[in-house]
């Protein structure tokens, strides 16, 4: 598929008043009714420099992993970065249904599973989407085979595939790679954590959303100890944010749990909920939505460079 036929990501309409304020500490004294959502960027935070690999993890379904993957990819592609998203969720494969891979006619259709079983290189399982600057490694239900056949070295497969690709190509093929993890802490998720430089944790703002954080913490620490010492948690996204006292309590709690991470309240919008059905990033489907704007702002903070 030629680049000319792909849809470019639009610039966002400029409504400066609608951008979230960026602060380095939250004033937790203000009553929640008058507390506006603010992006927390700790003074110690350093933006990533491309090439960088992110993994979007939370073992809870519906936390906003796939939305976070798609919107960050769209925001980064809008600034002419080359972005690859990797669907690592066999249970839903929602990413592959949202950003539909454009398979060339008459060739075998590869997927992330093919990479885990050494059937092809990562680049051979990477396909264009309809959106300029965003390519995808798709997945389907058969990725589940990795969990029960446990091919030797599976934990290292993605990290090794990325390293091999960079070496063979004489440099990275993509500026940013974003791995959309499954709602589990299984082998494929550990492979994603092992391959990534930085983890991003989306979190719904409900009581049950907090309960899983301890086991996610433990898994990240184990990966840091055993397979990927460079891994850090760069961001927490409070997805489908609403203005409630409880949302704010959760925000304060995650800021304590992840003192090194940017914390981004992502505002809820109906248009964001509709975008997967329309098979378009929110940024394209509804450029005016606060959800797309919040992700674009976050992308600009996470990565060094100019964002629009």
Ligand X SMILES: Nc1ncnc2c1ncn2[C@@H]1O[C@H](COP(=O)(O)OP(=O)(O)O)[C@@H](O)[C@H]1O
| Chain positions contacting Mg ion, by CB under 5 A | 65-66, 94
Task: Please choose which of Mg ion, ligand X, none residue 64 contacts, taking the beta carbon within 5 to 8 angstroms, the exact cut-off set by kind.
Answer: ligand X
Least Å from the CB of residue 138 to ligand X: 15
Least Å from the CB of residue 98 to ligand X: 9
Binding to ligand X (CB under 6 A) within 203-242 occurs at: 239-240
Buried b (16+ CB within 10 A) or exposed e, 56-66: bbbbbebbbbb
Task: Please choose which of Mg ion, ligand X, none residue 266 contacts, taking the beta carbon within 5 to 8 angstroms, the exact cut-off set by kind.
Answer: ligand X
**Which tokens in the block code for residue 224?**
């840091």
DSSP secondary structure of 156-216: HHHHHHHHHHHHHHTS-S-SEEEEEE-SS-SHHHHHHHHH-SEEEEEEESSHHHHHTHHHH
Distance CA 31, CA 8 (A): 42
Choose among 218, 228, 220: nearest CA to 194. Answer: 228
- 287 touches ligand X by CB under 6 A: no
CA angle 82, 45, 10 (to 5 degrees): 35
Binding to ligand X (CB under 6 A) within 73-132 occurs at: 94
Of 81 and 272, the one with the shorter C-beta distance to ligand X is 272
Taking CB under 6 A as the criterion, the residue among 67, 96, 111, 232 binding ligand X is 67
**Which tokens in the block code for residue 190?**
């550990």
Binding to ligand X (CB under 6 A) within 131-150 occurs at: none
Of 94 and 136, the one with the shorter C-beta distance to ligand X is 94
Least Å from the CB of residue 56 to Mg ion: 8
Binding to ligand X (CB under 6 A) within 170-189 occurs at: 183
Of 87 and 155, the one with the shorter C-beta distance to ligand X is 87
- 62 touches ligand X by CB under 6 A: yes
3-state SS assignment for residue 261: coil
Of 202 and 300, the one with the shorter C-beta distance to ligand X is 202
> Dihedral sign, CA of 108, 57, 44, 225?
negative
Residues ≥6 apart with Cβ < 8 Å to 105? none
Q: Where along the sequence are the contacts to ligand X (CB under 6 A)?
A: 61-67, 94, 183, 239-240, 266, 268-269, 272-273, 276, 291
């Amino acid at each position: 598929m030629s680049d000319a036929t792909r849809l470019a990501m639009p610039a966002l309409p400029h409504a400066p008043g609608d951008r979230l304020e960026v602060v380095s500490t939250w004033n937790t004294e203000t009553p929640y009714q008058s507390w506006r959502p603010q992006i927390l960027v700790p003074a110690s935070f350093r933006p990533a420099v491309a090439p960088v690999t992110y993994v979007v993890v939370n073992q809870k379904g519906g936390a906003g992993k796939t939305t976070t993957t798609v919107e960050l990819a769209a925001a980064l592609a809008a600034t002419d970065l080359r972005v690859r998203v990797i669907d690592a969720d066999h249970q839903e494969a929602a990413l592959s249904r949202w950003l539909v891979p454009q398979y060339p006619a008459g060739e075998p259709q590869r997927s992330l599973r093919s990479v885990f079983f050494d059937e092809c290189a990562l680049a051979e399982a990477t396909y264009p989407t309809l959106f300029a600057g965003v390519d995808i490694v798709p997945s389907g239900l058969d990725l589940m085979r990795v969990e029960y056949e446990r091919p030797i070295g599976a934990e290292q497969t993605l990290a090794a595939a990325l390293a091999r690709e960079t070496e063979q190509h004489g440099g990275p093929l993509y500026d940013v790679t974003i791995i959309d993890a499954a709602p589990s802490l299984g082998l494929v998720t550990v492979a994603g954590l092992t391959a990534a430089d930085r983890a991003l944790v989306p979190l719904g703002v409900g009581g049950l959303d907090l309960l899983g954080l301890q086991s996610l913490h433990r898994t990240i620490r184990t990966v840091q100890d055993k397979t990927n010492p460079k891994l850090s948690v760069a961001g927490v996204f409070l997805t489908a944010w609403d203005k409630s006292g409880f949302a704010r309590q959760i925000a304060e709690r995650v800021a304590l749990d992840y003192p090194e991470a940017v914390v981004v309240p992502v505002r809820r919008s109906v248009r964001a909920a509709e975008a997967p059905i329309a098979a378009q990033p929110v940024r394209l489907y509804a450029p005016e939505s606060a959800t797309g704007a919040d992700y674009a702002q976050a992308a600009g903070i996470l990565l060094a460079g100019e964002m629009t």
